[in-house]
Amino acid sequence: MLDIRNLTKRFGAFTAVDDINLSVPDGAFLVLLGPSGCGKTTLLRMLAGLEQPTAGQIEFDGVVVSDGDRNWNVDPANRNSGLVFQSYALWPHMTVRGNVEWPLKVAGMGKAERKGRVEEVMALLGIGELQARYPNEISGGQQQRVAIARTIAPRPGVLLFDEPLSNLDAKLRVEMRSELMRLHRTIGATSVYVTHDQIEAMTMATHVAVINRGRIEQFGSPEDLVRSPASAFVATFVGTPPNNIVPITRHGSAYKVHTQVTDLAPPMPQASLAMYPPECLTVHDEMTPGSFAMELVEISVIAGRTMVTASDGALRLTAIVDRPPKARLAERVHMRLPTAPACWFDAQGRRIPA
């Protein structure tokens, strides 16, 4: 089990991680998801023991490994965790076998046992035929496999991944995602994976923590995040494509959606942002009652359907439809919202309960 309580990290006056609390069971695959600079890598480095928390505690299986309140930290080598770096960080003067074997030598494992374990993990990662090569003689994807093999060789209880697939091409990323999921199921270690790619998060995670400005916006399963976003930030950051957030403003005794006066009324006075899933919008080539005339800015095919994005000033809407519009890019299309939004948020982006 991984427990994080009131974890905070400050760099001078800047707070990178702000009072984070979360807990995941043994064997979970936790993804820390968020934009660049949100604090997810700093959080991972505290889990690895490379950063000392300013406040709060981290526990692995009930054992405190970091305590910021007491300014105390278990050495990274003694906390039963392994870290896979974004840059692979392989020893260039060692062969593939030497890289995988090195942490076992440091741990004092006997030669015979070491030999068996190295062959076991190289077979698990499919890199046995590369064992005599050096890092500069193998591809980026193969280097990543070596880095993972080196990390899991000592059998850590917690595996930490710092955007390990970001340096790979799109096709190889998809293949390596599947490999990491297979590996996770095989070895059973609790995994914590940092990424800004929400597709990686949605396909790999059992638990997701969406982080924004050092705080957790929402923690839950991938389905929870997509179906019931807790904030406007989560609604627009998660999903392919993400939800549409539309401002609703007061207009005399009525309300206005973008440029149109509407009968739609927020359920509570503080409700000012309406969420519309992309599959609920419709796209027309001609003006229809209640539709917005907008400029077509993007169109693409996704799983046999068409994603259409149009904009009009500050408003940008995306729809998933069965048939593409006749209009070309930069021409006019007419986007129509459903009669009621899926949910409401206040002006600060907090979800308003139904």
3-class secondary structure per residue, 210-234? EEECCEEEEEECHHHHHHCCCEHHH
* Beta bridge partner(s), residue 336: 282, 291
CA distance 210 to 198: 10
Q: Are 187 and 125 in contact (CB under 8 A)?
A: no
- Domain boundaries, given as residue ranges, for the chain: 2-229, 244-352
pLDDT band, residue 185 (cuts 50/70/90): very high
pLDDT band, residue 68 (cuts 50/70/90): very high
CA distance 209 to 32: 5
Given a cut of 90, whether residue 88 has pLDDT beyond it is no
**What does the pLDDT look like over 115-160, one tens digit per residue?**
999 999 999 999 999 999 999 999 999 999 999 999 999 999 999 9
Q: Which CATH class is domain 2-229?
A: alpha beta
CB contact set of 186 (below 8 Å; sequence gap of 6+): 124
pTM: 0.90
pLDDT band, residue 301 (cuts 50/70/90): very high
Q: What is the CATH number of domain 244-352?
A: 2.40.50.140
CA 134 to chain centre: 32
| Other CB atoms within 10 Å distance of the CB of residue 77 | 12
**What does the pLDDT look like over 188-247, one tens digit per residue?**
999 999 999 988 999 999 999 999 999 999 999 999 998 899 999 999 999 889 999 999
**What does the pLDDT look like over 8-46, one tens digit per residue?**
999 999 999 999 999 999 999 999 999 999 999 999 999
Give me the pLDDT at residue 166, please.
Answer: 87
Instruction: Kindly report which listed range (207-216, 246-255, 260-269) carries the lowest average pLDDT score.
Output: 260-269
Is it true that 2-229 and 244-352 share their CATH fold? Answer: no
- Distance, first Cα to last Cα, the chain: 34
